[in-house]
Homo-oligomer: A and B are copies of this chain.
Amino acid sequence: MRSTERNGPPVSLLSRATAVLEAFDDSHPVLGLADLARRTGLPKSTVHRIASELVSLRVLERPDDATVDGYRLGMWFFERGELVPVHRSLSDAALPVMEDLREATRQRIHLAVLDGVDVVYVEILGTGRHDIASRTGGRLPAHATGVGKVLLAYSPAATVRARVDAGLPRMTPRTIATPGGLTRELRKIRSVGMALDLEESHLGISCVAAPVFGADHKIRAGLSVTGVTGSIDPVTLGPAVRTAAFTLSRTLRASGL
């Protein structure tokens, strides 16, 4: 595979435009034309045309009045992003419960869903002092987080297999990195109805997570309480998280989600 070529050679205009938009990420929020051309592997003039049109459509923005220019994702994106059903419907139902849980535990509360073999954080409460490196919209391998493990534990076997096939990258020395270990862990999670994550995703950070089910009784999300290892006591937090997750599941069932 060439360095300039992505895995599939981008052909149609739409796929090229998408590639341009995907060039922006956490560590590259602002990109110049040349950067974009490099990162997408597209000719400069092509990128220029696409990016310019995206600006005129208000999808991308350019601080024309300012000094240093460069393209960036526009407000348009943020507004649409907030309308995404998995986020909105879930968050609307979850926020009250999450706030109660935050109040009761004074720790950081996470709500996440499964997307493919990864966990995506949909809502986070309590950005507080210590900076835990979780971000709304952030993505982590499912096997390495509390919410991820609880999501896998109640997902079809095919999903778990997909995660194993995609690899079990080690985030910390305590990350579960073997298929057998994962299977055993998931069985244990199902038997107790919650998951523990003792520094498996980040050193010094632990969490307790519980499953949230939708109206169809299928797993929909994972809810967790996260904090620095010393302050996370599974014995007291476990019941709190499980209760909140049950409440949320009931709310979802009541509104048919």
A83 to B80, CA, bound (A): 12
Q: Does A128 contact B (CB under 8 A)?
A: yes
Residues of chain B contacted by A12 (CB below 8 angstroms):
53
Count of chain A residues near B, Cβ 8 A: 51
- Closest residue on chain B to residue A72 by CB atoms: B85
Query: Once the chains bind, are A84 and B74 in contact (CB under 8 Å)?
Result: yes
> Does A95 make an interface contact (CB < 8 A)?
yes
Instruction: Give min CB distance, A68 to chain B, whole Å.
Output: 12
Q: How many copies does the complex hold?
A: 2
Contact: A26 with B83, CB < 8 Å? yes
- Cβ A77 vs Cβ B80 within 8 A: yes
Asked if A24 CB lies within 8 Å of chain B CBs, one says yes
Give A81-123 as 1s and 0s: 1 = Cβ < 8 Å from B's Cβ atoms: 1111111110000011001000000000000010100001010
User: Across the interface, which residues of B come within 8 angstroms of A14, CB to CB?
Assistant: 13-14, 17, 50, 53-54, 57
One digit per residue, 1 when the CB lies within 8 angstroms of any chain B CB and 0 when it does not, for chain A 200-231 equals: 00000000000000000000000000000000
A136 and B83 CA atoms in complex are apart in Å by 9
Who on chain B is nearest to A94 by CB? Answer: B127
Across the A-B interface, the 10 shortest Cβ-Cβ residue pairs: A81-B81, A82-B137, A95-B127, A78-B84, A73-B84, A78-B81, A18-B57, A29-B85, A78-B87, A79-B137
